């Protein structure tokens, strides 16, 4: 159980509770079904739930697993946070992600005053920070259940405890080497899905809190990953996004090591699968084998997210990124040569401690040379406990803001020029949704992850269609369905 904090509620240890996972969780799923049924009968209406995700694709996938359990035990999904069970799956990568959660909690407390039955739960990365837990215990007593990233697989058990107790249930683990397979998930999209291939991170970039809140890197067994993809494809999924903080180091912790490229080649064989994406690639571990595998593949999308963070070799060293500006640029060159239609995207941090105007100009230089389709730009945020937080030469806010806006203009200018390069071509588009502004249009994506809007009806959602890219409007295209046949995998 919890080593880091004393649990406020001790688990019952009845003899009939299975010890091994996932059996134990299925036991609690059955108990929950009874509890939820009894509660909804006494209220004379179904119980509703809402899971809100903050943060990255990992959290989004975790939320699908949490929803899977909630729906299995009888909760109905609610449109808003006015629900009987509300769970915030939190992020703490930057301070504003963290502040957002406190803001939302105040709002939830207001809703709870009108619905005393309401259960409020928090999980995710922010809960792995001891200061956060102290603050919640002191000032947010209306929260009913708090758990972290390492014991998320125990959600059914923890929810059962929360529903059958009127005390705050708190269960946070410091770390784990455990991976629990075969728990349910409720996908957001019927035709695409994230698939975790690894958890945690061992890189300790000096600004980043993720290794502290997600624990050490561990890879799922290839047979479990491939089986999950096969099952998803059997259920209508065409596109998978393989998820990990550093997918390029996949497989190192396995009993029988396998490279990421090796895993991709096996995934390629799965019938029914049309598109394979992955995130995130650390430049220091991107192998020639991966480039060749992408080049030879018919299913791996022509898109690579390759976080730069900074273009200055001096700052990169301080960031503990373990590559230089020159190494990064030669990697880009190699990728462009091998895969000419590749779309390249990145993450950049502005204002890392000690960053000078010269360092910043090095970043601008890489942006010009690498020609990114999109770059996510972030203002450096000090995260307690990371080495960079203790660095003395933090950059003043006004200087950072000025650099940030100059970087953003450059990134947008290049992004706009780059996006237009497919104009006039007919390319496969996966139709993903009805356009939010104009319901006569569908919104989909090219392999390169570029958005395309085109006339179409909702029955086409989830299909890969040939679309003529008529007009580029900055970062997206307006297109028209081409009369050719539907693409098959």
Among 48, 128, 176, 246, which residue interacts with ligand SF4 (rule: CB under 6 A)?
A: 246
Binding mask 177-206 for ligand SF4 (x = CB under 6 A): ------------------------x-xxx-
Alpha-carbon gap, residue 144 to 265, rounded angstroms:
45
In whole angstroms, how close is the CB of 94 to ligand F3S at the nearest point?
Answer: 8
Contact call for residue 375 and ligand SAH (CB under 6 A): no
Q: Does 275 bind ligand SAH (CB under 6 A)?
A: no
And the tokens for 256? Answer: 């029988």
Q: Which is nearer to ligand F3S, 214 or 403 (CB)?
A: 214
Q: Which is nearer to ligand F3S, 48 or 345 (CB)?
A: 345
Which of 88, 380, 454, 477 is close enough to bind ligand SAH by CB under 6 A?
380
Q: Does 32 bind ligand SF4 (CB under 6 A)?
A: no
- Work out what residue 211 binds among ligand F3S, ligand SAH, ligand SF4, none; the CB cut-off runs from 5 to 8 Å by kind: ligand SF4
Residue 301 binds ligand SF4 (CB under 6 A): no
Closer residue to ligand SF4, CB minimum distance, 66 or 208: 208
Distances (CA, A) of 284 to 38, 104, 244, 306, 426: 54, 38, 15, 10, 35
The angle subtended at Cα 241 by Cα 129 and Cα 311, nearest 5°, is 65
**Closer by beta carbon to ligand SAH, 159 or else 208:** 208
Instruction: Give start and end residues of each alpha helix (H) in 282-382.
Output: 288-296, 313-318, 325-338, 357-370
Min. distance of Cβ 394 from ligand SAH in angstroms?
12
| 91 versus 233: smaller Cβ distance to ligand SF4 | 91
Chain center to CA of 214: 13
Strands (DSSP E) found in 186-291? 192-196, 198-199, 218-219, 239-243, 275-279
Q: Which is nearer to ligand F3S, 91 or 185 (CB)?
A: 91
383 binds ligand SF4 (CB under 6 A): no
Assigned token pair, 150: 């390492």
Nearer to ligand F3S, 28 or 54 (CB): 54
**If you ran DSSP here, which 8-state letter would residue 88 be given?**
E
Binding flag, residue 454, ligand SAH (CB under 6 A): no
Cα separations in angstroms, 254 against 31, 211, 286: 35, 19, 19
Helix (H) or strand (E) holding 91: none
Q: Which stretch binds ligand SAH (CB under 6 A): 175-183, 189-197, 269-277, 375-383?
A: 375-383
- Angle value at C-alpha 421, between 420 and 427, nearest 5 degrees: 100
- Residues contributing to the site for ligand F3S (CB under 6 A): 55-56, 58-59, 91-93, 125, 210, 213-214
Q: Are 180 and 26 in contact (CB under 8 A)?
A: no
418 binds ligand SAH (CB under 6 A): no
Residues whose CB is less than 8 angstroms from the CB of residue 409 and which lie 6 or more positions away in sequence, other chains included: none
349 binds, among ligand SF4, ligand F3S, ligand SAH, none (CB under 5 to 8 A by kind): ligand SAH
DSSP state of 475: T
Q: Does 58 bind ligand SF4 (CB under 6 A)?
A: no
- Do 383 and 407 touch, CB atoms closer than 8 A? no
Residue placing its CB nearer to ligand SF4 in the complex, 309 or 419:
309
CA 235 to centroid of chain Cα atoms:
22
Residue 378 interacts with which of ligand F3S, ligand SF4, ligand SAH, none, CB < 5 to 8 Å by class: ligand SAH
Strand-strand pairing, 441-446 and 426-434: antiparallel
Binding to ligand SAH by CB under 6 A, coded x per residue (else -) over 91-110, reads --xx----------------
Pick the stretch among 190-198, 248-256, 378-386, 481-489 that binds ligand SAH (CB under 6 A). 378-386
Say if residues 130 and 56 touch (Cβ distance below 8 Å): no
Window contacting ligand SAH (CB under 6 A); options: 44-52, 103-111, 360-368, 374-382: 374-382
3-state SS assignment for residue 440: coil
Applying CB under 6 A, among 210, 232, 243, 270 the residue interacting with ligand SF4 is: 210
Q: Is 214 in the site for ligand SAH (CB under 6 A)?
A: no
Are 143 and 121 within 8 A, CB to CB? yes
Which residue stretches of 22-119 are H helix?
23-43, 57-72, 95-114
208 touches ligand SAH (CB under 6 A)? yes
Stretch that binds ligand SAH, among 28-36, 264-272, 379-387, 443-451 (CB under 6 A): 379-387
H or E stretch at 230 = helix 222-234
Tell me phi and psi for residue 237, to 5 degrees: -80, 135
Q: How far apart are the first and last CA of the chain?
A: 46
454 token code pair: 């085109």
**Which residues here bind ligand SF4, judged by CB under 6 A?**
201, 203-205, 208, 210-211, 245-246, 282
Binding site for ligand SAH (CB under 6 A): 93-94, 207-208, 210, 245-246, 280, 282, 307, 309, 347, 349, 378, 380-381, 383
């Amino acid at each position: 159980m919890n080593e880091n904090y004393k649990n406020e509620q001790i688990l019952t240890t009845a003899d009939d509770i299975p010890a091994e996972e996932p059996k134990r969780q299925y036991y609690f799923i059955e108990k929950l079904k009874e509890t939820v049924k009894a509660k909804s009968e006494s209220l004379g209406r179904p119980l509703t739930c809402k899971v809100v995700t903050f943060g990255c694709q990992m959290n989004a996938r975790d939320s699908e697993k949490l929803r899977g359990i909630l729906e299995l035990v009888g909760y109905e999904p609610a449109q808003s946070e006015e629900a009987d069970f509300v769970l915030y799956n939190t992020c703490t990568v930057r301070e504003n992600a963290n502040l957002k959660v406190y803001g939302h909690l105040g709002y939830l407390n207001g809703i709870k005053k009108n619905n005393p039955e309401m259960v409020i739960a928090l999980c995710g990365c922010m809960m792995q920070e001891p200061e956060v837990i102290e603050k919640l215990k002191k000032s947010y007593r209306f929260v009913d259940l708090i758990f972290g990233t390492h014991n998320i697989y125990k959600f059914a058990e923890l929810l059962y405890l929360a529903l059958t107790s009127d005390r705050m249930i708190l269960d946070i683990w410091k770390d784990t080497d455990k991976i629990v397979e075969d728990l349910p998930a409720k996908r957001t999209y019927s035709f695409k899905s994230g698939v975790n291939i690894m958890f945690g991170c061992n890189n300790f970039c000096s600004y980043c809190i993720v290794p502290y809140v997600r624990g050490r890197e561990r890879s799922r067994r290839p047979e479990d990953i491939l089986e999950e993809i096969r099952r998803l494809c059997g259920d209508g999924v065409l596109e998978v996004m393989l998820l990990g903080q550093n997918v390029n180091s996949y497989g190192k912790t396995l009993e029988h090591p396998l490279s990421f490229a090796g895993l991709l080649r096996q995934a390629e064989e799965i019938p029914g699968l049309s598109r394979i994406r992955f995130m995130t690639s650390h430049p220091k571990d991107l192998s020639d084998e991966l480039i060749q595998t992408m080049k030879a593949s018919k299913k791996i999308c022509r898109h690579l997210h390759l976080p730069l963070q900074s273009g200055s070799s001096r700052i990169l060293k301080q960031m503990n990124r373990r590559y230089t500006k020159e190494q990064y640029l030669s990697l880009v060159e190699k990728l462009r040569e091998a895969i000419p239609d590749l779309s390249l995207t990145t993450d950049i941090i502005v204002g890392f401690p000690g960053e000078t105007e010269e360092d910043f100009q090095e970043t601008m230089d890489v942006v010009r040379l690498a020609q990114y389709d999109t770059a996510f730009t972030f203002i450096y945020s000090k995260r307690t406990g990371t080495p960079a937080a203790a660095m003395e030469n933090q950059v003043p806010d006004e200087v950072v803001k000025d650099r940030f806006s100059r970087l953003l203009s450059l990134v947008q200018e290049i992004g706009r020029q780059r996006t237009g390069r497919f104009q006039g071509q007919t390319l496969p588009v996966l139709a993903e949704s009805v356009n939010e502004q104009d319901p006569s249009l569908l919104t989909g994506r090219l392999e390169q992850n570029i958005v395309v809007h085109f006339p179409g009806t909702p029955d086409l959602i989830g299909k890969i269609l040939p679309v003529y890219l008529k007009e580029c409007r900055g970062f997206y295209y307006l297109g028209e369905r081409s009369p050719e046949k539907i693409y098959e995998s």
